[in-house]
Amino acid sequence: MAKSTYNYDISRSFVNWSILWGVVAVLVGILIAFQLVLPSWNLPPFLTYGRLRPLHTNAALFGWGLGSFFATFFYITQRLTRQRLWSDGLARFQLYLFNATIIAAAVTLLLGYNTSKEYHELEWPLDILVVVLWVVFAANIIMTVIKRKEEQMYVSIWFMLASLIGVAVLYLVNAAEVPVSLFKSYSAYAGANDANVQWWYGHNAVAMVLTAPPLAIFYYFLPKTTGAPLYSHRLSIVAFWSLIFMYLWTGAHHLMWTPVPDWVQTVAMAFSIMLIAPSWGSVINGYLTMGGQWHQMRSNYLVKFLILGITFYGLQTLQGPSQAVRTFSAFIHYTEWIPGHVHMGAMGWVSLVLFAAIYYMVPHMYGRKLYSEGLANLHFWMVLLGQLGYSVSMWIAGVQQATMWHAINPDGSLHYSFMETLAAMVPYWWVRAFAGVLYLAGVLVFVYNLVQTVKKGEAVAEPA
């Protein structure tokens, strides 16, 4: 299929912008990590930890995460359907709206406008922008799939469609609110119901943003980079449907030991454990696809990113279910363990797969050879070590914090004051901050390599 048949322009633009937001997210992540150990780095009122933290999560999940999903979804959909994008104009409009929304989100969050619902912090006028953005995106992808020239729908398309529909439903239900002024609204739900809806949304944001899209990408790029076909299409589809069915019941595992009814918590716990099976269905499919290709772990830098990525997904989906068990939840909930879990998924699984996808797409879209595989390998090791430094330090910190909180004197009083438990975290927070700097340095190597590829990369014809 000739190159001009597809619209790569839009994927290129989304790649550029998502990387920019990714660098901002990581910079702000490092800043808040340092603020915890150097409180004087808080500059009230705008640059305090409380305002910068949601800026970090929004820039990371929506700027970097969604931005690069847009780029890859446009690329993958056209290739898998053998059909040019349904509307170039809508896609361009989506790019402008995406950037406008991210900028508006950054400004309003720094000004202190926040709904106080985690991962749904933006106030109602921005909710409307997000809904328009999503509808435009979904319409473009769905119409392209409908008009496809390739009859078979590869598993990546299923995961993309699930994400498109899932995010729409979750976002709209959780966004039900009563505006009282331009930048203030109150949730339509009250008390425990509000919490339940919020975490039904929150956890399924993990499913529909941090799981389904990277899986779509992984399933597409692993066979592409290794040259070996997917081990089992049947297994991929069974894993898809069971994953989608099971995720929707697990939200209340964020609300163990709260006033949410016990049976709701028990259902969430049971479904979280059942989720191991469909999650590992994809992990095993990935490993078996590597069949006779394991030597490529040495020779092919893309395979390294993808296989380490799916391995972190596998670990994440064993750790997550164990955190959903009531007794373990009582131990690690509210501790540093949780950011350790989050960042193994975010910096490990999601970001590693995205790095691989971008490394694959940029040379193909510009018709140039990657500038330096050596730099790509360096990037790999820097982000891997940065991520491990982050997660491992937080897991150890979390266990120490939990045991300190639980330590009791013979008379039943607490052994440690809260301040003592907090001070004990400081060394771990230093490790996390420097691990973050290493991760950022790796990301900058990635950016340099891409810029040089576009500017100086040897010209090659795009493979059919």
Residues that bind ligand HEM (CB under 6 A): 25-26, 29-30, 32-33, 53, 56-57, 60-61, 64-65, 118, 206, 210-211, 250, 253-254, 272, 275, 279, 313, 316-317, 320-321, 323-324, 329, 333, 338-339, 341-343, 345-347, 349-351, 436, 439-440
215 vs 152: CA distance, rounded Å: 18
Considering beta carbons, is residue 339 or 363 the nearer one to ligand HEM?
A: 339
Count of CB atoms within 10 A of residue 48's CB? 17
Taking the least distance from each CB to ligand HEM, the nearer of 83 and 204 is 204
Secondary structure of residue 309 in the 3-state scheme: helix
CA distance readout (Å), 354 to 10, 183, 307: 17, 34, 12
Shortest Cβ 367–ligand HEM spacing (Å) = 30
Q: Which two tokens stand for residue 119?
A: 């991962």
Q: Name the amino acid, one letter, at 316.
A: Q
Q: Do 251 and 201 touch, CB atoms closer than 8 A?
A: yes
Q: Angle 88-110/9-37 helices, nearest 10 degrees?
A: 10
- To ligand HEM, the closest distance from the beta carbon of 206 in angstroms equals 4
- Name which of 368 and 379 has its Cβ closer to ligand HEM: 379
Task: Supply 186's token pair.
Answer: 């109150």
Q: Which residue's CB is nearer to ligand HEM, number 160 or number 324?
A: 324
C-beta of 256 vs 290, nearer to ligand HEM = 256
Output the smallest distance, CB 436 to ligand HEM, in A. 3
**Residue 147 beta carbon to ligand HEM: minimum distance, rounded to whole angstroms:** 32
d(CA 38, CA 111): 22
Residue (340 or 457) nearer to ligand HEM, CB: 340
Distances from the Cα of 339 to the Cα of 33, 206, 390, 396, angstroms: 11, 14, 9, 12
Q: How far is the CB of 271 from ligand HEM (least distance, A)?
A: 8
Alpha carbons 310 and 295: distance in angstroms, whole number: 17
Task: State the minimum distance, in angstroms, from the CB of residue 179 to ligand HEM.
Answer: 25
